[in-house]
Amino acid sequence: MIILKKYLSAVKKSIDDGAKVKSYFAWTFMDNFEWALGFEKRFGIVHVDFKTLKRTPKKSYYFFKKLVEQNSIPFDF
């Protein structure tokens, strides 16, 4: 979640500086295979247990969900 907040803070700064940002998306919804790192690094906002394929939302999922629902970047990060 910390990395997502950093990225969105940069987006907010860009908007404050005059950039016309129309959208933002998370790199990947679920943890997956990355060519350079295999299954070691997890980038998704939903954790995937690769043995059972169970999917569990991470804190970053709920953070991003709130952003989407509010259609805004909070000022308190």
Q: Could you state, in chain order, the average pLDDT of each consecutive group of 10 residues for the chain (77 residues)? A: 81 92 83 83 89 94 87 67
| Helix H or strand E encompassing 57 | strand 55-57
Which pLDDT score is estimated for 71? Answer: 79
Distance CA 6, CA 72 (A): 15
Given a contact cutoff of 8 angstroms between Cβ atoms, the answer to whether 48 and 64 are in contact is no
Q: What is the pLDDT of residue 58?
A: 93
Check: pTM over 0.75? Answer yes or no: no
Please give the pLDDT value at position 1: 63
pLDDT at 74: 67
Q: Are 17 and 10 in contact (CB under 8 A)?
A: no
Contact 25, 16 (CB under 8 A): no
